[in-house]
Copies of this chain bind each other. A is one copy, B any other.
């Protein structure tokens, strides 16, 4: 499947915020800048703070100096330089390359420049995510980068596990080096371990007991014995920009039957989902494999007042330069393709028992999936 592309495609965003802009340029630029592809050749327009660096290190075909292009655009539009915005720059580039006044922009293109281009009479097609469709298909080099990022995740989780194992139980609390062990202190251990692997982790989840029943609660305060603790680590490699994303659930102390049944169900759901994964299988088939394990074992999913309990999220999502990207593995989703890299992370959330999520990352192949994350699944220790 080859996507038909316009002759001119433009982005206006920072490559720290936009995975598409980083994919195109290969360099991190902190402030928004104009970039794109014209007749198959990539370019960016950057200011003098970035120019030499971007010329030297980017993978772009052409790098233009903003101050020069602004001057030329001002002449064309017969306006002052300070009135030249991204829309005027784009219009100027279309003129310079004798392109028809039509172009493509990403869904996230800023409305302010979109509306200005409309006023300039440019015909604009807004594309779906990702702007560069190829971004969903990971080559070997990208898969290796994601593997390295997951090694950083695993390093963080292992560091946390080690602390949990060495901690002592003091009533309901955990003590480590004379202090009460908290979500915050364990997060620090994890994120330092990630830094040592060249990856920056942010919002690492270390959530215990009922806190973990809100899947995006990062966790705070004392960790408690005999309760499930979700640890979800999704660092970004500084060098390549790729993310890892791994989750393990631990329990320090003694697990009860409900906790055991839940953890076993989540791991079995993950295995059932992983078993389905190969090219041409629908993401919904994968999701259904996981949810079937839960419903067969009586783990129901429903709303109770303000709470949602059970398997309340999708089975997974694409992973790459963005932490959440195409494709989604949920009730309705597209067919998997060779090279898709996805997380497989079923979970169960019951405020009266606690929460469990187990997450690994796999790359879709013709015959199955190639795991890009690796760590054991032992979860309960005294």
- State how many copies of this chain the complex holds: 2
| A242 touches B (CB below 8 Å) | no
Q: How far is the CB of A205 from chain B (nearest CB, A)?
A: 11
CA distance A192 to B49 in the complex (A): 28
Contact segment of A111-119, A137-145, A169-177, A287-295 = A111-119
Among A16, A184, A217, A313, which residue has the most Cβ atoms of chain B within 10 A?
A217
A30 CB contacts on chain B under 8 angstroms: 203, 216, 323-324
Contact segment of A37-45, A51-59, A256-264, A361-369 = A51-59
User: How many A residues, CB 8 Å from partner?
Assistant: 50
| A82 touches B (CB below 8 Å) | yes
CA distance A217 to B198 in the complex (A): 17
Q: How far is the CB of A29 from chain B (nearest CB, A)?
A: 7
Q: How far is the CB of A248 from chain B (nearest CB, A)?
A: 19
Query: Would you list 28 pairs from A and B whose C-beta atoms are within 8 A, ordered by A residue?
Result: A29-B216, A30-B203, A30-B216, A30-B323, A30-B324, A49-B214, A49-B215, A49-B313, A50-B214, A51-B306, A52-B214, A52-B308, A53-B217, A107-B111, A108-B112, A109-B110, A109-B111, A110-B110, A110-B111, A111-B111, A114-B114, A188-B195, A188-B196, A191-B195, A192-B192, A200-B200, A202-B202, A203-B238
Chain A residues near B (Cβ < 8 Å): 16-17, 28-31, 48-53, 55, 82, 105-112, 114-115, 124, 126, 184, 188, 191-192, 195-196, 198, 200, 202-203, 214-217, 238, 303, 306-308, 312-313, 323-324, 332
